Structures are given as structure tokens and as C-alpha cells.
Amino acid sequence: MLSFVGCGGSIFGLVSPSKSTSFLQIHSCKSPFKHRRSSCSLHTSFTMAIAREPESLVSDSVSSELPYSMKQYTLSDLSPSVKQQLLLRPKIDFSGTMSIVSPILRAVKEQGDQAVLEYTKKFDKVELSLHTLVLSPSDMGIPEISESVKCAIDVAFDNLVKFHKAQLRETLQVETMNGVVCSRVSRPIERVGLYVPGGTAVLPSTALMLGVPAMLAGCSEIVIATPPRSDGSVCPEVLYCAKKCGVTKILLAGGAQAVAAMAYGTALVPKVDKICGPGNQFVTAAKMMLQNEGEAMVAIDMPAGPSEQLCIADETSRADFVVSDLLSQAEHGMDSQVVAVVLPGFDMEKFKDELVHQMENLPRKEFAKVAISKSLVLHAKDRNEALQFSNEYAPEHLCIPSEKCEEYVSGIVNAGSVFLGPYAPESVGDYASGTNHSLPTYGYARMYGGVSVDTFVKYITMQRLNEDGIQNVGPHVEVLADVEQLFAHKNAVSIRLNSLKQSQQ
């Protein structure tokens, strides 16, 4: 059963241990599976199928208790089937979501800007007009924000530019045979859409994380979609970031309707070729549905899910640092995924004390407690076992607050972003170190990387052959074309080889 009022909100829920559904809430902050504002209001609620801990795991847990019902296991004692269950993420059933999103996409496709205005009024409770729906940052003045915020954004911007600029690749060129030169050049995706969650939440960091690589890639049209504030204006911090990143248009809309407007294009919103950025399940569903629709003809960055962190702690790791990392993830929301893998020598007693102490001092402890109660502490016998589990889990964020962190690096295979050493909390990557915080979740780090300059470019291969080149490679092409019985393919080579033979006589 699904009861829905607005599809711009974020989803958070409590898991019932005895049922296959959980009660979830949509909050007004519209954060990408990360509840960030204690002042946000409840939009609506519904039930959703979600995976939960199997009963069989109870007997496999370590007997000593942890605060907040946090569960712990010894990896070497687990059967393969139980270990596999620990690797599972909450299972979200998108079928109900898609049935809600589908008519929204259809309405925007048929009615354009008018549909976007109507859905913005319905879901965000903000009434805009055709004159205020789309903004041009270049025509707007510098927004009024505090100097400290402006300075922080400037530092984050500069670090992001330095790191992402280094990702730009020069043309690759190789002579594979005498007279056969192959090359690869990069070209920007011309028109891109960047989804920046907003509403009552302020998420300028997402605007930077998406805007900087798009700018450096050379995209000619950069459109940001972000929900309007309650007064119909754009978040000033997001506007400041947009101006720094050369954003050409800002669409004051969120949810599936904003994604649809960028995918199809409207009278006011340019049609884009690729849509990037995090969002709630309605945004994710819209992106997934539109990438498979021929008329929209739009690509997306990656699938999205609840944010997650895995932390590996050894005998050199400080318990207070480890707890602070775990809680920084847990406070995002009740659906946050938090896993600690601890090695022999790590101070578990100090860990327990710090968990209680730091939790009680959190303004958002009601959310963090729920996330921690569903989290895991896994005891590994050594570094290899810890890394093996981490690679199988493929976390969005991998924290290794160890003084021996460099000894782990070669063993890391699957992770969105890695935070090495005692003084590299996840927070620095979320905001200002220079790496990108738009990362694969839900185990997709096995086959996806995070957003980078490469996200906003495509590669074109070229080959140039002279007379020697076609004579060297041509006969081999003729043989392979014969094998595949493609006469015209063979003839395209043969006609050139025969022409050269005749000219040489």
C-alpha cells in the first residue's frame, strides 16, 4: 500500500522486525536519502518492502552486547550464506514508485512548463510563474551570503578544480602497424542536467560536486534543477556555486517533474543529453525510466540508494575517531548503512563508551540511533579478511583511520571513495578535500566509479591509414570479412588494394 502526497521529499523509515514491510516517511528537506535538517517537516508516509536481518543471524552474533542494539559478528565464524546476508542492502521496491512517477513524466512530456509549474505547486507548495520558473545565473547579481560561507565555498571550489583539472586527458595516439595510426579524443557532452536537492535543505556542496567537472569538461549548456525555497527564490548558496561553475540555467523545480523537464526539454528548459546528481527514490526512478525511453534519449550518471560507510579499524585506530566517522554517516538518516570491521587490538571498550558519549551529544540522535541499531560490527582476524569483506560489500565510503593505512591501499578493489589515515574523516570528502562526493551506493562500486570529468565527456576513436597502412592491415581484414560472410566489408578493402596494385603497374 502506498499513500503519496509529494514526490520531492526524502524517505526515512523504521523497520519492523517481524514484518516484510517498513513504515517510511517523506520529509520536506528533499535530501538525497540523507536527512540533514532537524527543522524539516513531515510530508507523508507509506509502507515499502525492505530487506531485513534474517532470523538465522541471531545465533551467529557475538554474545557481548553493544549500545543501541548494534549487532556484532566474527567473520571467520560465519557460514557463506550468513555472510552473504550481511552483505545485503535494504531492498527498495520501485514498482509502486514507478507507477507514481510515470504519469508525472507523461504530463511534463505533453504539457511542458505548465505541468512543471503545477507539480511544483502541488508538491513543494510554491506557486511560480513562467517568468520565475527558469533563471539565468549570468543575469543575476552575487547573492547575499556570509563571508565565512563564501570563503568556505571558494576553498572547496578551488580544491575541486585542482583535483578535477588533473583528470583531463590529452589525445591518445598509437601507430598500431606501419601506416595505421589510431587515436582517441575527448569531447564534452554538450548539454547536461545537474539535479541538486534542495527545498528547506541547503546543499551547495552538491552543486559544486556536479558543476565543477561539468565546467572543466567544457559542457556548453549546464542546467541545474533544484527545488525553490518557500518564497519561490533559489537558495543563495546554490546560486553562488552555480555562478562560479558557469551554469547557464537554473530550473526551480525538484522531483520527477524536474528530471522530466531536463530529459524532454520544454519551451523554457533546454533538453539535455545526460542527467547527473543524487535524489530520493522518485528522482532515481525518473532517471532510470527516462534513460530507457527512446524519445527522451538521455543518459544518467549512476543508480542511487541510501548513503553508506564501512570503516576498518585496527590496533592503531582511535576509538573516538572511529565512532565520529560512523555517527557522521548515521546522522544522515534512519536508512543510512553503517558497518565497522575491527581487527585484533582495537579498543572495543573505549568504542562502546565513545558511542554512548558522542551519540548523546548529537542534536539528531533520534535518527542516528535508528541507523546505528541496524548497523554492524564485524570482527576480522587480520587485514586480508577485513579487506575481503569490504571489497565484497563495495561501500560508497571506505574509512581507514589507521596509522598503517598505506598498507591497506593495494588490497582495496571496490569502493566509491576512500579516506586514509586518522585525520581523513568522510566529511572532508563530502565538502572540500577536492574529491567528488557523488558516489555509487548499494554495492554499485563494483562496477561504477564516482562522478568525475569523465562523467561529462565522451571519447571518440579515430584511425588514419596511408597506402602502406591499408596494404599492411587490409589482407587480414579481407580474411576476417570472409569468415563472417560480409562481402561488402571485404570489398571496401579489396577495391582499395586493387586500386593500389593498378597504380603500381
Alpha helical stretches, state H, 176-318: 204-217, 236-244, 255-264, 281-291
Collect all residues with Cβ–Cβ distance below 8 Å to 499 and sequence separation of at least 6.
none
Segment (H or E) for 97: helix 94-111
**Active-site residue, 43 included:** no
What is the Cα–Cα distance from 269 to 249, expressed in whole angstroms? Answer: 8
What is the Cα–Cα distance from 34 to 29, expressed in whole angstroms? Answer: 9
Strands 191-195 and 221-225 come out as parallel
Segment (H or E) for 174: strand 172-177
**Which cell goes with 456?**
561529462
**Active-site residue, 397 included:** yes
Alpha helical stretches, state H, 417-466: 426-431
Alpha helical stretches, state H, 403-486: 406-409, 426-431, 467-483
Kindly compute the dihedral angle of the four CA atoms of residues 186, 248, 266, 27, in this order, to the nearest 10 degrees: 100
- Burial readout 483-492 (b: 16 or more C-beta within 10 A, e: otherwise): eeeeeeebee
Burial classification of residue 501, based on how many CB atoms lie within 10 Å of its CB (0-12 exposed, 13-18 middle, 19 or more buried): exposed
Q: Is residue 198 within 8 Å of residue 227, measured between CB atoms? A: yes
Helix/strand/coil for 466: coil
Catalytic residue chosen out of the listed positions 27, 164, 397, 437: 397
Strand 457-465's sheet: what is its strand order?
172-177, 180-188, 457-465
Catalytic residue chosen out of the listed positions 237, 354, 396, 426: 396
In Å, how far are 91, 182, 307, 325, 464 from 432, measured between CA atoms? 32, 39, 18, 16, 43
**Angle (deg, nearest 10), helices 365-373 and 348-360:** 150
Collect all residues with Cβ–Cβ distance below 8 Å to 426 and sequence separation of at least 6.
309, 325, 328, 329, 397, 399, 419
Q: Is residue 379 within 8 Å of residue 64, measured between CB atoms? A: no
**Which cell goes with 502?**
593498378
What is the Cα–Cα distance from 235 to 159, expressed in whole angstroms? Answer: 23
**Which cell goes with 288?**
532510470
In Å, how far are 72, 100, 260, 283, 438 from 108, measured between CA atoms? 48, 13, 6, 14, 27
Query: Catalytic site residues?
Result: 396-397
